[in-house]
Structure 1
Amino acid sequence: MALKVRKNKSPSLPNNCPLTECMAVIGGAWTPNILWALKGGARRFSELRLDIPHVSAKMLTTRLRELEDRFIIFREVKPTSPPSVEYSLTGFGKELMPAIEAIANVGHKIKLKRDSLENQSDKIAS
């Protein structure tokens, strides 16, 4: 006997779904890390490389360009000698920070739960 398909009680996603748009922005590899690094203020490329040690220069460049194209970060060329470039969050980028922080908080809880279960498994196996 086949199971009856239940009606979805969630509201339908609108055309050109804003959730999909937002996830396309923050879903890229290293993007949450970049946003996290910029939440404290403007950073130069070399500083971001230090903040996110495992990201390659090529990937960081790609993500910074994407985030700039999507109005999440602002790229400013400083009138120094030699010229330097700083990246900072735009208004949209700042609006994303509570969501990024909430995701990080849940991730921390999941990690604690997983670690706790692994420790329990280790004790049982001993």
Structure 2
Amino acid sequence: MDATQPQYELSVVTQCLKSAIDVIQWLIPTITKFSQSHPLVFQLLFIFFTFYVFYKLLMNFITLVKRFLYLTLVVTCIGIYMRGSQQFLTVDLLNFYNFVMSNRYYAFKIYTLFINALEREINTVYHLAQMKMEQLLK
């Protein structure tokens, strides 16, 4: 690896960012002008685009859920194969459920403690800032 490679990579990234900024600088006035000259068409296109984005997000979410369910099915089948159906369904599944439920409580408790500590810090900073403002205004 020579010393010029990081400079080249930085240059490529800089060029990509510059191109993206140029496109955005051209696109924003164009969209604004189009929306002012053709408001109904712009609204319809915006609605269709919004529905398309939500549709794609929904389909990606459904795909993610399906993959998670397939993975769960595979893990369950492996567990049943390795431990036996009786052992897996009566003992292992209950132990896993108890483990998840007990950790969920502790995770919530840790989250609550974190939020309370953050709230105390915010209040402390607020009171310090208030005292400083009072000192400055005197």
State if a TM-score over 0.5 links the two structures.
no
TM-score of the pair, normalised by structure 2: 0.29
Structure showing the higher helix proportion among its residues:
2
Name the larger-Rg structure: 2
When you count strand as a share of all residues, which structure comes out higher?
A: 1
